[in-house]
Amino acid sequence: MQSRTPASRTGRPRSAAADTAILAATRAALVELGWSKLTLGDVATRAGVAKTTLYRRWAGKNELVVDAVAELFDELTLPDRGSLAADIEGVVLQFATILARPEARNGLMAVVAESTRDDALRERIRASIVDRQKRLVLAGRARAQARGELPPESDAEEAARTVDLIFDMVAGAVVHRTLVSAEPADEEWIHGFTRVLLSGLSATGP
């Protein structure tokens, strides 16, 4: 989570309940107010803590919302539906379901926008949100190779590039569909998307 003091052994410990209350209050405020009208004073009031307590744990609005949104992606898992296409559709559906929630929509793009001028914030997003998504791509690819649905990796570096490409295509398409086009990434859309993506991947030439 936030920058802890790992070697603190004495003194009053930080309330773990306050953490969860603050993050939950942040998500609630995101739903009701959105990003721009969300104030840290309001979050503190909702959480039942003092504003100063909030500032002692998080550097600012950006970091707080990143942590609050990151918890939404904890539920992402890789289902075993038997085939690569079905696995992808399952993961994309989970991802789309999370993005359909207003606290995710309101918070995610805002912190990404802020991260364009804040390298530390981008690293925080990568570690707590993006990597958690990318891990599913890696796992799904490995399972598909074990099944023989995808050719095994010949070059390690080439494989890494492919994974990055797939990840940007999947996450980017779902995010763009949900937030820019503002239309639901429902099962029908996901099915069409998966078909195009898989056809393109299976035809991997030089």
Partner DNA sequence: AGTATTACGCTACGACCCGTAGCGAAAGCA
Partner DNA sequence: TGCTTTCGCTACGGGTCGTAGCGTAATACT
Chain residues that interact with DNA, rule: CB under 7 A: 5, 8-15, 18, 39-42, 48-53, 55-57, 60-61
Q: Residue 32 or 71: which CB sits closer to its own copies?
A: 32
Nearest CA to 86 out of 204, 191, 201, 174 is that of 191
From the list 80-88, 90-98, 144-152, 193-201, the region that binds its own copies by CB under 8 A is: 193-201
Read off the DSSP letter of residue 180: I
From the list 9-17, 33-41, 45-53, 141-149, the region that binds its own copies by CB under 8 A is: 33-41
135 binds its own copies (CB under 8 A): no
Based on C-alpha coordinates, what's the Rg of the chain? 20
72 binds its own copies (CB under 8 A): no
Q: At how many degrees (to 10) do helices 61-70 and 102-115 cross?
A: 130
Q: Residue 75 or 188: which CB sits closer to its own copies?
A: 188
The two three-digit tokens of residue 130, written as one number: 């993006």
Q: Which does 151 bind (CB under 5 to 8 A by kind): its own copies, DNA, none?
A: none
The two three-digit tokens of residue 30, written as one number: 């995101």
Q: Which of 27, 57, 105, 141 binds its own copies (CB under 8 A)?
A: 105
From the list 5-13, 72-80, 89-97, 190-198, the region that binds its own copies by CB under 8 A is: 190-198
Angle at 118 between CA 112 and CA 101, to 5 degrees: 20
Smallest gap, in angstroms, from Cβ of residue 29 to DNA? 10
For residue 8, give every residue at least 6 positions away whose Cβ sits within 8 Å of its Cβ, in sequence order, or none: none
7: phi > 0 → left, psi -120 to 50 → alpha, else beta; which? alpha
Asked if 126 contacts 152 with a C-beta cutoff of 8 angstroms, the reply is no
Kindly list the residues in this chain that would bind its own copies in the complex (CB under 8 A).
34-36, 102, 105-106, 108-110, 112-117, 122, 125, 130, 161-162, 164-165, 167-169, 171-177, 179-183, 189, 192-193, 195-201, 203, 205
